Amino acid sequence: MATPPIRGDCDPGFERVREAFRENFDQRDEIGAAVAVTRDGEPVVDFWTGHADPARTRPWQRDTLVHLYSTTKGLTALCAHRLADQGKLDLDTPVAHVWPEFAQAGKGEIPVRWLLDHRAGLPALRETQPPAQIYDWDAMCGALEAEAPWFPPGEEIAYEAVTFGWLVGEVVRRVSGRTVGHYLRDEIAGPLGADVHNGLGDAEIRRCADIGALPVPDDLATDGEGDPFTTLPLIAFVNPTGTGDHNSEAHRRAEIPAINGHATARGLARIYGALIRGASQDGVTLLSPEAVDRLHVEGSSGTDRTQGIEIRFGPGFMLNPTAPDTEPLYTRSPRCFGHNGAGGSVAFADPDTGLGFAYVCNRLGPHLDTDPRARALIAACEESL
Could you report the per-residue pLDDT of 37-57, keeping only the tens digit for each? 999 999 999 999 999 999 999
Under a CB-based contact definition with an 8 Å cutoff, are residues 59 and 51 in contact? yes
Would you mind telling me the total number of residues written for the chain in this entry? 385
When pLDDT is cut at 50, 70 and 90, the band that residue 224 belongs to is very low
Domains of the chain, residue spans: 7-384
- The neighbour count for residue 83, using CB atoms within 10 Å, is 20
pLDDT at residue 349 tops 90: yes
Which letter, b or e, does each residue of 68-80 get, where b requires 16 or more Cβ atoms within 10 Å of its Cβ? bbbbbbbbbbbbb
Per-residue pLDDT of 271-281, as tens digits, reads: 999 998 666 77
Q: Kindly indicate the confidence band of residue 317, based on its pLDDT and cuts at 50, 70 and 90.
A: very high
pLDDT band at 225 (very low <50, low <70, confident <90, very high): very low
The whole-number average pLDDT for the span 257-261 is 97
Neighbours of 326 (CB within 10 A): 12
Q: What pLDDT, on a 0 to 100 scale, did the predictor assign at position 223?
A: 44
* 344: confidence class by pLDDT, cuts 50, 70, 90: very high
Using the predicted structure, report yes or no on whether residue 79 has a pLDDT greater than 50: yes
Distance CA 45, CA 9 (A): 6
Mean pLDDT for 86-110 is: 99
pLDDT of the residue at 222: 46
Calculate mean pLDDT across residues 158-173: 98
Mean pLDDT of the 349-376 span = 95
Q: With cut-offs at 50, 70 and 90, classify the pLDDT of residue 194.
A: very high
Which residue is catalytic, options 70, 176, 345, 384?
Answer: 70
Question: Which CATH topology does 7-384 take?
Answer: Beta-lactamase (3.40.710)
Measure Cα distances from 229 to 158, 240, 374 in Å.
17, 11, 31
70 belongs to the catalytic site:
yes
What pTM did the predictor assign?
A: 0.95
